[in-house]
Structure 1
């Protein structure tokens, strides 16, 4: 009986810890403010993107940066060593997004940016270039 209790306790603790690890990163489509407020717990790649966005906004305050960035329709983040575009997934007002010459390999987090009419991804090591938005000619690889 003790073995079963110990095993159950171990599994419940392991399951709880796993849930906490997953909850550390906001979901796709979350506001930049949410990504920013959790930046200390993010892995290196999305944290770098958050830092680039704070610099672009010229602010260290997450709410001020979110207000500024969310109101933009054009954003140029070219040549910033960005690898993870997940923190950009909430910028649904964007019509033009320049991400050329970064280190992006996966653009799928951008699928929700349906107002884009230009997505520049030139110079990124994307193995299978597939435009995450429609129409596909929005993307430049």
Structure 2
């Protein structure tokens, strides 16, 4: 799973770099708290996090359902505004997921696919932090 935090530039501009850093720290803590056993998370770029999950053997339908349940759980933990910022300043998070049977896909291939899916997710939802 790849998560992209939307609007961090606006948070930094409006509330300062320290507030932006506090948001990222809180998001990382919430992300870690949301993950079940067998999952690892990390910050992979300025405003981007990745989650790697090891799931038990299952068919594609079960895998899709498990991955979607994990995504929904993570999004739910990240969505509520923090008390550190006004509610309208709390950033949105775009997500994308991919999965593969162990050894069936190249890691680079999975990264390319999740990046593609994340770009599609971002373009499907207007960015509330952009002004015309």
Instruction: Report TM bin, short chain.
Output: under 0.3
Structure with more relative contact order (C-alpha pairs < 8 Å, separation 6 or more): 2
Structure in which a larger fraction of residues adopt strand: 2
> Is the radius of gyration larger for structure 1 or structure 2?
1
